[in-house]
Amino acid sequence: MARNSVTFDFNIITKALDRTKAEVQASGVVGVQDAVDDLLATSRDEAPLDEGTLRMTAFNEVSADGEEVVGTVTFSAVNQSESGERYNYALRLHEMGSFKNPTTAGTKPKYLERPLKANAKRYNRMIADAIRKGLR
């Protein structure tokens, strides 16, 4: 009896897929970082400016965990009321309906949410472009 057999080593494909997955994630981190850098700059420009505390406390961060890449922009100013109670100044100003007397022209409530919504498609393109570039 004659026998012929074919052997295929899946390790080559598995290694290539693992490498590609790592490259996609690394490129995704680059794209998300680009997007949150832009969001931070844009939102800082729209954030109220009185003493500069709010803008100075803003920062961004990108983390990769498993199959997820998360970019965060944070404003973390805390202030003290006349009664001595501490409150989240950044959140209060962000959620105000409107500023009666903005100290700087062009500043407005929703200084973080507004630019995120307005630029969401562009940020998605930035991330996709970074991934495509990373896979070349």
Alpha carbon distance 91, 12 (integer Å):
51
Domain ranges of the chain: 11-135
Q: Which of 103, 90, 88 is nearest to 49 (CA)?
A: 103
Tokens for 47, please give them: 């954030």
Tokens for 70, please give them: 């998360």
pLDDT of residue 102: 57
pLDDT tens, per residue, the chain with 136 residues: 666 656 567 676 667 667 788 888 999 999 999 999 999 999 998 887 776 778 888 999 999 987 889 999 988 877 777 888 887 778 877 777 665 555 666 677 788 899 999 999 999 999 999 998 988 8
